[in-house]
Amino acid sequence: MTPAMTERLAELAKQVQGYIYPNDIDVHWSILIVVYPYLTGLVAGAFILASLVKVFNVKEVQPTYKLALLTALAFLLIAPMPLLLHLGHPERGYEVLITPNPTSAMAMFGFVYAWYLMAVLLLEVWFAYRKDLILWARQEHGPMKWIHRALALFSNDVSPEAIEFDRKAMKVITIVGIPSAFLLHGYVGFIFGSIKANPWWSSVLMPIVFLFSAIVSGIALVILLYMVVVPLRGGIIDMECLEKMASFLFYAVIVDFSLECLDFIHRLYESEESIKILSELVLNKLIISLLVMQVLLGMLAPLAIMVSIKLLHLNDELKKLLYFLSVLLIQLGIFSTRWNVVIGGQMFSKSLSGLTTYKMELVGIEGLLTSIALLILPFVVLGVLMKILPPWDTPPVAAVEPRVAS
Protein backbone atom coordinates (compact mmCIF):
# COMPACT_ATOMS: atom_id res chain seq x y z
CA MET A 1 0.00 0.00 0.00
CA THR A 2 1.41 3.37 -1.04
CA PRO A 3 1.79 6.27 1.40
CA ALA A 4 -0.90 8.21 -0.49
CA MET A 5 -3.40 5.37 -0.06
CA THR A 6 -2.55 5.09 3.63
CA GLU A 7 -3.10 8.81 4.09
CA ARG A 8 -6.43 8.64 2.23
CA LEU A 9 -7.64 5.78 4.42
CA ALA A 10 -6.62 7.67 7.54
CA GLU A 11 -8.62 10.69 6.34
CA LEU A 12 -11.68 8.56 5.71
CA ALA A 13 -11.38 6.90 9.10
CA LYS A 14 -11.71 10.32 10.73
CA GLN A 15 -14.85 11.10 8.70
CA VAL A 16 -16.66 7.79 9.19
CA GLN A 17 -18.71 6.87 12.23
CA GLY A 18 -19.42 3.15 12.51
CA TYR A 19 -18.55 0.53 9.91
CA ILE A 20 -18.92 1.42 6.25
CA TYR A 21 -17.92 -0.49 3.11
CA PRO A 22 -15.26 1.10 0.89
CA ASN A 23 -17.66 1.57 -2.05
CA ASP A 24 -20.06 3.52 0.22
CA ILE A 25 -17.56 6.24 1.06
CA ASP A 26 -18.02 8.74 -1.77
CA VAL A 27 -21.02 11.05 -2.18
CA HIS A 28 -21.72 10.86 -5.92
CA TRP A 29 -24.51 13.44 -6.16
CA SER A 30 -22.89 16.75 -5.23
CA ILE A 31 -24.26 20.21 -4.55
CA LEU A 32 -25.12 20.55 -8.24
CA ILE A 33 -27.89 18.01 -7.72
CA VAL A 34 -29.06 20.12 -4.77
CA VAL A 35 -29.25 23.24 -6.96
CA TYR A 36 -31.18 21.45 -9.70
CA PRO A 37 -34.40 20.59 -7.77
CA TYR A 38 -34.20 23.95 -6.04
CA LEU A 39 -34.31 25.80 -9.38
CA THR A 40 -37.09 23.65 -10.84
CA GLY A 41 -39.11 24.19 -7.68
CA LEU A 42 -38.90 27.96 -8.13
CA VAL A 43 -40.18 27.53 -11.70
CA ALA A 44 -43.20 25.50 -10.65
CA GLY A 45 -44.06 27.78 -7.73
CA ALA A 46 -43.81 30.99 -9.76
CA PHE A 47 -46.06 29.55 -12.48
CA ILE A 48 -48.65 28.43 -9.92
CA LEU A 49 -48.76 31.99 -8.58
CA ALA A 50 -49.25 33.34 -12.11
CA SER A 51 -52.08 30.85 -12.69
CA LEU A 52 -54.05 32.40 -9.83
CA VAL A 53 -54.77 35.37 -12.08
CA LYS A 54 -55.84 33.66 -15.30
CA VAL A 55 -57.52 30.52 -13.98
CA PHE A 56 -58.76 31.39 -10.50
CA ASN A 57 -59.42 35.08 -11.23
CA VAL A 58 -57.54 36.38 -8.19
CA LYS A 59 -57.39 40.03 -9.23
CA GLU A 60 -55.34 41.14 -6.24
CA VAL A 61 -52.17 39.46 -7.56
CA GLN A 62 -52.56 40.85 -11.10
CA PRO A 63 -49.58 43.26 -10.62
CA THR A 64 -47.24 40.28 -10.33
CA TYR A 65 -48.66 38.15 -13.17
CA LYS A 66 -46.09 39.00 -15.82
CA LEU A 67 -43.28 39.16 -13.27
CA ALA A 68 -44.15 35.62 -12.16
CA LEU A 69 -44.22 34.40 -15.77
CA LEU A 70 -40.81 35.92 -16.57
CA THR A 71 -39.39 34.54 -13.32
CA ALA A 72 -40.57 31.04 -14.21
CA LEU A 73 -39.11 31.36 -17.72
CA ALA A 74 -35.73 32.71 -16.52
CA PHE A 75 -35.26 29.95 -13.96
CA LEU A 76 -36.49 27.25 -16.35
CA LEU A 77 -33.87 28.26 -18.93
CA ILE A 78 -31.10 27.69 -16.36
CA ALA A 79 -32.63 24.68 -14.53
CA PRO A 80 -30.99 21.93 -16.68
CA MET A 81 -27.48 23.40 -16.37
CA PRO A 82 -26.62 21.74 -13.01
CA LEU A 83 -27.51 18.35 -14.51
CA LEU A 84 -25.53 19.02 -17.68
CA LEU A 85 -22.46 20.12 -15.71
CA HIS A 86 -22.75 17.08 -13.45
CA LEU A 87 -22.75 14.79 -16.50
CA GLY A 88 -19.12 15.59 -17.20
CA HIS A 89 -19.91 15.67 -20.94
CA PRO A 90 -22.70 18.24 -21.27
CA GLU A 91 -22.32 18.18 -25.06
CA ARG A 92 -23.96 14.75 -24.98
CA GLY A 93 -27.06 16.00 -23.19
CA TYR A 94 -29.10 16.18 -26.41
CA GLU A 95 -28.86 12.39 -26.76
CA VAL A 96 -31.61 11.97 -24.17
CA LEU A 97 -34.00 13.34 -26.81
CA ILE A 98 -32.76 11.49 -29.87
CA THR A 99 -32.32 8.12 -28.13
CA PRO A 100 -35.20 8.17 -25.62
CA ASN A 101 -35.58 5.55 -22.93
CA PRO A 102 -39.23 5.59 -21.78
CA THR A 103 -38.47 3.31 -18.82
CA SER A 104 -36.05 5.82 -17.27
CA ALA A 105 -37.61 8.58 -15.14
CA MET A 106 -34.42 10.63 -15.40
CA ALA A 107 -34.27 10.30 -19.18
CA MET A 108 -37.89 11.40 -19.57
CA PHE A 109 -37.04 14.71 -17.92
CA GLY A 110 -35.84 15.96 -21.30
CA PHE A 111 -39.32 15.56 -22.75
CA VAL A 112 -41.06 17.01 -19.69
CA TYR A 113 -38.72 20.01 -19.81
CA ALA A 114 -39.19 20.55 -23.56
CA TRP A 115 -42.98 20.33 -23.22
CA TYR A 116 -43.11 22.77 -20.33
CA LEU A 117 -40.72 25.26 -21.95
CA MET A 118 -42.09 25.31 -25.50
CA ALA A 119 -45.74 24.28 -25.18
CA VAL A 120 -46.52 26.07 -21.93
CA LEU A 121 -44.25 28.88 -20.77
CA LEU A 122 -43.10 30.33 -24.10
CA LEU A 123 -46.63 30.23 -25.52
CA GLU A 124 -48.18 31.87 -22.49
CA VAL A 125 -45.49 34.57 -22.36
CA TRP A 126 -46.06 35.27 -26.07
CA PHE A 127 -49.83 35.59 -25.76
CA ALA A 128 -49.46 37.69 -22.61
CA TYR A 129 -47.10 40.12 -24.36
CA ARG A 130 -48.35 40.05 -27.97
CA LYS A 131 -50.41 43.24 -27.70
CA ASP A 132 -47.68 44.97 -25.69
CA LEU A 133 -45.02 44.04 -28.24
CA ILE A 134 -47.09 45.59 -31.03
CA LEU A 135 -47.65 48.80 -29.07
CA TRP A 136 -43.98 49.07 -28.11
CA ALA A 137 -42.86 48.50 -31.70
CA ARG A 138 -45.11 51.36 -32.89
CA GLN A 139 -43.73 53.79 -30.33
CA GLU A 140 -40.01 52.92 -30.42
CA HIS A 141 -37.14 53.50 -32.80
CA GLY A 142 -33.88 51.72 -33.42
CA PRO A 143 -32.95 48.11 -32.58
CA MET A 144 -35.55 47.65 -29.83
CA LYS A 145 -38.33 48.41 -32.33
CA TRP A 146 -37.24 45.53 -34.53
CA ILE A 147 -36.67 43.22 -31.57
CA HIS A 148 -40.24 43.79 -30.42
CA ARG A 149 -41.61 43.42 -33.94
CA ALA A 150 -39.77 40.14 -34.39
CA LEU A 151 -40.94 38.86 -31.01
CA ALA A 152 -44.51 39.74 -31.99
CA LEU A 153 -43.93 37.66 -35.15
CA PHE A 154 -44.69 40.87 -37.10
CA SER A 155 -48.30 40.82 -35.98
CA ASN A 156 -50.18 44.15 -36.04
CA ASP A 157 -53.62 43.10 -34.89
CA VAL A 158 -54.71 44.77 -31.65
CA SER A 159 -58.42 44.57 -32.36
CA PRO A 160 -60.77 43.64 -29.49
CA GLU A 161 -61.34 40.24 -31.12
CA ALA A 162 -57.61 39.50 -31.26
CA ILE A 163 -57.09 40.61 -27.65
CA GLU A 164 -60.01 38.44 -26.53
CA PHE A 165 -58.46 35.48 -28.36
CA ASP A 166 -55.17 36.12 -26.56
CA ARG A 167 -57.02 36.13 -23.23
CA LYS A 168 -58.77 32.83 -23.95
CA ALA A 169 -55.54 31.24 -25.21
CA MET A 170 -53.70 32.27 -22.03
CA LYS A 171 -56.42 30.71 -19.89
CA VAL A 172 -56.30 27.41 -21.80
CA ILE A 173 -52.49 27.30 -21.69
CA THR A 174 -52.49 28.06 -17.98
CA ILE A 175 -54.99 25.27 -17.30
CA VAL A 176 -52.71 22.88 -19.19
CA GLY A 177 -49.67 24.38 -17.49
CA ILE A 178 -50.79 23.71 -13.92
CA PRO A 179 -50.57 19.89 -14.15
CA SER A 180 -47.46 20.34 -16.29
CA ALA A 181 -45.84 22.35 -13.49
CA PHE A 182 -46.83 19.63 -11.03
CA LEU A 183 -45.28 17.04 -13.33
CA LEU A 184 -42.09 19.06 -13.82
CA HIS A 185 -41.24 19.19 -10.15
CA GLY A 186 -43.23 16.24 -8.82
CA TYR A 187 -41.19 13.87 -10.94
CA VAL A 188 -38.02 14.99 -9.10
CA GLY A 189 -39.56 13.78 -5.86
CA PHE A 190 -40.73 10.67 -7.70
CA ILE A 191 -37.14 9.81 -8.63
CA PHE A 192 -35.99 9.98 -5.03
CA GLY A 193 -39.11 8.34 -3.61
CA SER A 194 -38.85 5.38 -5.97
CA ILE A 195 -35.35 4.37 -4.75
CA LYS A 196 -36.50 1.62 -2.41
CA ALA A 197 -33.00 0.65 -1.31
CA ASN A 198 -32.51 4.03 0.38
CA PRO A 199 -34.72 4.46 3.48
CA TRP A 200 -34.10 8.22 3.60
CA TRP A 201 -35.63 8.63 0.13
CA SER A 202 -38.11 5.79 -0.18
CA SER A 203 -41.41 7.41 0.73
CA VAL A 204 -44.70 7.73 -1.14
CA LEU A 205 -44.99 11.29 0.21
CA MET A 206 -41.71 12.41 -1.37
CA PRO A 207 -43.24 13.72 -4.66
CA ILE A 208 -45.99 15.57 -2.77
CA VAL A 209 -43.53 17.11 -0.30
CA PHE A 210 -41.30 18.23 -3.18
CA LEU A 211 -44.30 19.73 -4.97
CA PHE A 212 -45.63 21.77 -2.06
CA SER A 213 -42.16 22.96 -1.09
CA ALA A 214 -41.78 24.11 -4.72
CA ILE A 215 -45.00 26.11 -4.47
CA VAL A 216 -43.75 27.69 -1.25
CA SER A 217 -40.36 28.63 -2.70
CA GLY A 218 -41.79 29.99 -5.97
CA ILE A 219 -44.37 32.23 -4.28
CA ALA A 220 -41.75 33.46 -1.82
CA LEU A 221 -39.37 34.29 -4.68
CA VAL A 222 -41.97 36.33 -6.58
CA ILE A 223 -42.81 38.24 -3.38
CA LEU A 224 -39.11 38.91 -2.85
CA LEU A 225 -38.63 40.14 -6.43
CA TYR A 226 -41.76 42.27 -6.28
CA MET A 227 -40.58 43.95 -3.07
CA VAL A 228 -37.13 44.64 -4.53
CA VAL A 229 -37.89 45.59 -8.14
CA VAL A 230 -40.87 47.90 -7.61
CA PRO A 231 -39.07 50.30 -5.19
CA LEU A 232 -35.99 50.28 -7.44
CA ARG A 233 -38.19 51.56 -10.28
CA GLY A 234 -39.55 54.28 -8.02
CA GLY A 235 -42.92 52.56 -7.76
CA ILE A 236 -45.15 51.91 -4.77
CA ILE A 237 -45.77 48.40 -3.47
CA ASP A 238 -49.44 47.45 -3.68
CA MET A 239 -50.17 46.29 -0.13
CA GLU A 240 -53.35 44.51 -1.17
CA CYS A 241 -51.35 42.49 -3.69
CA LEU A 242 -48.54 41.83 -1.21
CA GLU A 243 -50.87 40.68 1.55
CA LYS A 244 -52.81 38.42 -0.82
CA MET A 245 -49.62 36.72 -1.99
CA ALA A 246 -48.47 36.44 1.62
CA SER A 247 -51.77 34.76 2.52
CA PHE A 248 -51.28 32.13 -0.20
CA LEU A 249 -47.70 31.69 0.98
CA PHE A 250 -48.85 31.27 4.58
CA TYR A 251 -51.31 28.49 3.71
CA ALA A 252 -48.78 26.79 1.42
CA VAL A 253 -46.17 26.78 4.21
CA ILE A 254 -48.69 25.24 6.61
CA VAL A 255 -49.52 22.44 4.15
CA ASP A 256 -45.86 21.84 3.35
CA PHE A 257 -44.87 21.72 7.02
CA SER A 258 -47.78 19.39 7.80
CA LEU A 259 -46.75 16.99 5.03
CA GLU A 260 -43.14 16.93 6.23
CA CYS A 261 -44.33 16.24 9.79
CA LEU A 262 -46.59 13.48 8.50
CA ASP A 263 -43.69 11.90 6.64
CA PHE A 264 -41.54 12.06 9.78
CA ILE A 265 -44.28 10.58 11.99
CA HIS A 266 -44.88 7.81 9.46
CA ARG A 267 -41.20 6.85 9.54
CA LEU A 268 -41.20 6.79 13.34
CA TYR A 269 -44.37 4.72 13.46
CA GLU A 270 -43.00 2.11 11.05
CA SER A 271 -39.72 1.94 13.01
CA GLU A 272 -38.04 -0.22 10.41
CA GLU A 273 -34.48 -1.46 10.78
CA SER A 274 -33.22 1.79 9.26
CA ILE A 275 -34.67 4.02 11.98
CA LYS A 276 -31.52 3.80 14.11
CA ILE A 277 -29.13 4.96 11.38
CA LEU A 278 -31.57 7.66 10.26
CA SER A 279 -31.76 8.96 13.83
CA GLU A 280 -27.97 9.08 13.96
CA LEU A 281 -27.95 10.85 10.60
CA VAL A 282 -30.33 13.56 11.82
CA LEU A 283 -28.71 14.05 15.22
CA ASN A 284 -25.07 13.87 14.08
CA LYS A 285 -24.81 15.02 10.47
CA LEU A 286 -27.94 17.04 9.69
CA ILE A 287 -28.67 18.68 13.01
CA ILE A 288 -27.76 22.15 11.70
CA SER A 289 -29.13 21.89 8.16
CA LEU A 290 -32.30 19.98 9.12
CA LEU A 291 -33.35 20.98 12.63
CA VAL A 292 -31.98 24.53 12.66
CA MET A 293 -31.99 25.80 9.06
CA GLN A 294 -34.90 23.82 7.57
CA VAL A 295 -37.32 23.44 10.48
CA LEU A 296 -36.54 26.28 12.87
CA LEU A 297 -35.41 29.09 10.55
CA GLY A 298 -37.04 27.95 7.31
CA MET A 299 -40.47 26.89 8.59
CA LEU A 300 -41.30 27.81 12.19
CA ALA A 301 -39.80 31.31 12.17
CA PRO A 302 -41.62 32.46 8.96
CA LEU A 303 -44.85 30.93 10.23
CA ALA A 304 -44.48 32.78 13.53
CA ILE A 305 -43.74 36.04 11.72
CA MET A 306 -46.74 35.73 9.40
CA VAL A 307 -49.06 34.78 12.28
CA SER A 308 -47.83 37.86 14.15
CA ILE A 309 -48.60 40.06 11.14
CA LYS A 310 -52.14 38.69 10.98
CA LEU A 311 -52.81 39.05 14.70
CA LEU A 312 -51.13 42.40 15.39
CA HIS A 313 -52.08 45.79 13.98
CA LEU A 314 -48.83 46.79 12.31
CA ASN A 315 -48.13 49.67 9.96
CA ASP A 316 -47.37 48.95 6.29
CA GLU A 317 -43.64 49.61 6.53
CA LEU A 318 -43.19 47.13 9.37
CA LYS A 319 -45.30 44.59 7.49
CA LYS A 320 -43.07 44.95 4.43
CA LEU A 321 -39.97 44.40 6.52
CA LEU A 322 -41.42 41.29 8.19
CA TYR A 323 -42.66 39.86 4.90
CA PHE A 324 -39.22 40.45 3.37
CA LEU A 325 -37.55 38.66 6.28
CA SER A 326 -40.04 35.79 6.01
CA VAL A 327 -39.44 35.11 2.32
CA LEU A 328 -35.67 35.20 2.82
CA LEU A 329 -35.93 32.64 5.62
CA ILE A 330 -38.23 30.48 3.50
CA GLN A 331 -35.69 30.40 0.66
CA LEU A 332 -33.03 29.34 3.16
CA GLY A 333 -35.34 26.62 4.47
CA ILE A 334 -36.28 25.23 1.06
CA PHE A 335 -32.67 25.11 -0.09
CA SER A 336 -31.81 23.31 3.14
CA THR A 337 -34.63 20.86 2.39
CA ARG A 338 -33.05 20.03 -0.97
CA TRP A 339 -29.64 19.69 0.68
CA ASN A 340 -30.95 17.35 3.38
CA VAL A 341 -32.69 15.12 0.85
CA VAL A 342 -29.92 14.90 -1.75
CA ILE A 343 -26.80 14.96 0.42
CA GLY A 344 -28.35 13.42 3.53
CA GLY A 345 -29.52 10.37 1.59
CA GLN A 346 -25.93 9.57 0.64
CA MET A 347 -24.29 9.97 4.05
CA PHE A 348 -25.02 6.51 5.48
CA SER A 349 -23.82 3.13 4.29
CA LYS A 350 -25.90 0.62 2.38
CA SER A 351 -25.36 -1.74 5.30
CA LEU A 352 -26.97 0.87 7.62
CA SER A 353 -23.91 0.56 9.85
CA GLY A 354 -22.07 3.87 9.57
CA LEU A 355 -22.07 7.51 8.46
CA THR A 356 -19.72 9.41 6.22
CA THR A 357 -19.12 13.11 5.51
CA TYR A 358 -19.58 15.18 2.37
CA LYS A 359 -16.65 17.51 1.72
CA MET A 360 -17.71 20.16 -0.78
CA GLU A 361 -15.15 21.57 -3.17
CA LEU A 362 -14.64 25.33 -3.40
CA VAL A 363 -13.80 25.51 -7.10
CA GLY A 364 -14.34 23.19 -10.04
CA ILE A 365 -17.48 22.02 -11.80
CA GLU A 366 -18.84 20.33 -8.67
CA GLY A 367 -17.75 23.17 -6.39
CA LEU A 368 -19.38 25.86 -4.31
CA LEU A 369 -18.47 28.75 -6.62
CA THR A 370 -20.06 27.01 -9.61
CA SER A 371 -23.24 26.45 -7.64
CA ILE A 372 -23.37 30.08 -6.54
CA ALA A 373 -22.92 31.15 -10.17
CA LEU A 374 -25.81 28.88 -11.20
CA LEU A 375 -28.01 30.43 -8.51
CA ILE A 376 -27.12 33.96 -9.67
CA LEU A 377 -27.43 33.29 -13.41
CA PRO A 378 -31.28 33.07 -13.49
CA PHE A 379 -31.47 36.57 -11.99
CA VAL A 380 -29.20 37.83 -14.78
CA VAL A 381 -31.46 36.18 -17.36
CA LEU A 382 -34.50 37.65 -15.61
CA GLY A 383 -32.93 41.11 -15.78
CA VAL A 384 -32.44 40.74 -19.56
CA LEU A 385 -36.01 39.47 -20.00
CA MET A 386 -37.38 42.38 -17.97
CA LYS A 387 -35.41 44.81 -20.14
CA ILE A 388 -36.89 43.36 -23.32
CA LEU A 389 -40.32 42.51 -21.89
CA PRO A 390 -41.07 44.93 -19.03
CA PRO A 391 -43.65 43.36 -16.71
CA TRP A 392 -45.35 46.69 -16.06
CA ASP A 393 -48.50 48.36 -17.31
CA THR A 394 -48.48 49.46 -20.96
CA PRO A 395 -50.44 52.21 -22.71
CA PRO A 396 -54.04 51.33 -23.53
CA VAL A 397 -54.78 50.23 -27.08
CA ALA A 398 -56.76 53.40 -27.69
CA ALA A 399 -53.62 55.48 -27.08
CA VAL A 400 -52.08 54.09 -30.27
CA GLU A 401 -53.59 54.32 -33.71
CA PRO A 402 -55.17 50.89 -34.32
CA ARG A 403 -53.98 48.87 -37.25
CA VAL A 404 -55.50 45.50 -38.03
CA ALA A 405 -53.55 43.02 -40.07
CA SER A 406 -55.19 42.29 -43.36
Cβ-contact 222, 47 below 8 angstroms: no
What integer pLDDT is reported at residue 358 of this predicted model?
Answer: 84
Q: Which domain holds residue 78?
A: 32-194+361-399
347: which DSSP letter? S
Tally of domains in the chain: 1
What integer pLDDT is reported at residue 295 of this predicted model?
Answer: 94
What integer pLDDT is reported at residue 364 of this predicted model?
Answer: 83
283's CB contacts (< 8 A; 6+ apart) are none
Tell me which residues of the chain have a pLDDT lower than 70.
1-26, 393-406
Any domain includes 23? no
Any domain includes 39? yes
Any domain includes 231? no
Any domain includes 129? yes
What integer pLDDT is reported at residue 4 of this predicted model?
Answer: 63
What integer pLDDT is reported at residue 24 of this predicted model?
Answer: 57
Any domain includes 369? yes
| CA neighbor of 42 nearest in space, from 406, 337, 355 | 337
What integer pLDDT is reported at residue 90 of this predicted model?
Answer: 77
What integer pLDDT is reported at residue 404 of this predicted model?
Answer: 43
| CA neighbor of 140 nearest in space, from 404, 394, 406, 405 | 394
Any domain includes 127? yes
Q: What is the pTM of this model?
A: 0.88
Any domain includes 205? no
314's CB contacts (< 8 A; 6+ apart) are 322
Any domain includes 370? yes
